[in-house]
Amino acid sequence: MRKSIILMLTYINLTLLLSFSATPLIAQTDFWEPINTGLTDTGVFALAINSSGEIFAGTVGSSVFRSSDNGDNWSAINTGLTNTSVLALAINSSGDIFAGTDGGGVFRSSDNGDNWSAINTGLTDTGVFALAINSGGDIFAGTVGSGVFRSSDNGDNWNAINTGLTFPGTIVTPGVFALTINSSGDIFAGSSGAGVFRSSDNGDTWSQTGLSSVESFAINSSGEIFAGGLGGVFRSSDNGDNWNEINTGLTLTFVFALAINSGGEIFAGGLGGVFRSSDNGDNWSPINTGLMNTDVFAFAFNSSGEIFAGTSGGGVFRSVEPTTSVEQISTTIPSSFALEQNYPNPFNPTTTIQFTLAKGANVKLKVFSIEGKEVATLVDEAVTPGVHTFRFEANGLPSGVYFYRIEAGELFQTKRLMLLK
């Protein structure tokens, strides 16, 4: 009897071994690639992209660099920019570029960065760590020790606007290190030690809404606000009145950069690399393959959905593939709707999902665990007729069987995929 059991166990182990050996090993591809040719200062604390796709990088010791080829090559553009530490960049609808510096105030360029002029009349604090521009062209500058300043004439003149922007119970104005503006024109200021302030009257008055130290903001298409800083990432679904910590899987203790792509995925950067959430911040997973410097201070997206990360000492990194949107590989209108099997399958950690649409539709493409829990939203947008592909990055997910489901109008289909790490 014992001999039969031993033989049976030996057979099972051999079968499993052969099965495992027959499974191909799948190489993990990098998410990031460095793009630093010509970038002689690798301390990048600010990034901005203009309407033509040109990228601007603000550095801690060599001012501003520009790339006209999606980051492949960089050139210094510092004529007239007399302060070399650029910590904030913003571009208005006319293409004027504004640079906030550590000690030199604000500089403006009206010729795409070729020449710069200091514009500091009324700006009594020249340590500018944040810039934001509203739909009316008003510019807001967050300073290291004097709160917020506003300019209504393209930076020519500035006025302090700090009524209510003080530490609770005092008249002391905190340093403001992050600014963002929602679609209703409400302004949010992230401060060091006093948390988030909100203004609903263009900065004339402010009210404190919570948290402690905030270094970054992002707002999604639904108007939800995300704040990054001490303690990770926080989300508000009521315009900043209340905040909830959303750090499951996020190991960053201080978040310096936040960004949201057109598909609603959220990216958080700090001392420890980059994390991504595909479920509105409920869960996070690291995406650091290829990121040789993990001290991340700035993000920017181009129109193709590629993400750029500015690091302290590693320069700029670019995602190898777009993070969002569906790539249309054929404009020939197919006769029917179909969802193809992903390839490769099994995969690690990247696979491609292809689908065809006979007519345009609002498409939702989601991934679910074998228990039925949604783990990623890949597509949630209007898609034109044709053959389309989406590249799915499964960094942070454990090995196992998953299901991907597409909904296109009244049509839907589900298939299985396998992640093998």
Q: What single string gives the DSSP state of each residue in 171-182?
A: SPPPPEEEEEE-
| Cβ–Cβ under 8 Å, residues 242 and 228 | no
**Residue 1 within a domain:** no
Region 167-176: what's the mean pLDDT? 87
Q: What was the pLDDT predicted at 324?
A: 65
Q: What is the domain count for the chain?
A: 2
Give, as one character, the DSSP assignment of residue 280.
T
Q: Which residue has the tokens 């340093």?
A: 175
What region, left, alpha or beta, does residue 95 occupy, with left being phi > 0 and alpha being psi -120 to 50 degrees?
left
In whole angstroms, how large is the CA radius of gyration of the chain?
24
Q: What was the pLDDT predicted at 395?
A: 65
Same domain, 177 and 193: yes
Same domain, 37 and 102: yes
Region 287-316: what's the mean pLDDT? 93
Residues belonging to the chain:
421
Q: Which residue has the tokens 């420890």?
A: 272
E strand or H helix that includes residue 338 = strand 338-339
**Residue 274 within a domain:** yes
Region 266-280: what's the mean pLDDT? 94
Separation between Cα atoms, residue 135 and residue 356, nearest integer Å: 38
| pLDDT of 17 over the 60 cut | no
| pLDDT of 67 over the 90 cut | yes
E strand or H helix that includes residue 350 = strand 350-357
N- to C-terminal Cα distance for the chain? 38
**Residue 111 within a domain:** yes
Same domain, 334 and 211: no
Looking at 319, 338, 369, the residue that finishes a domain is 319
**Domain assignment of residue 216, given as a range:** 32-319
Looking at 296, 319, 342, the residue that finishes a domain is 319
Its pTM surpasses 0.85:
no
Same domain, 177 and 242: yes
Q: What was the pLDDT predicted at 376?
A: 83
Kindly state the greatest CA–CA separation across the chain.
94
Q: What was the pLDDT predicted at 125?
A: 97
Same domain, 371 and 241: no
Burial class (CB in 10 A: 0-12, 13-18, 19+), 171: exposed
Separation between Cα atoms, residue 233 and residue 217, nearest integer Å: 9
Cis peptide before 334 (omega within 30 of 0): no
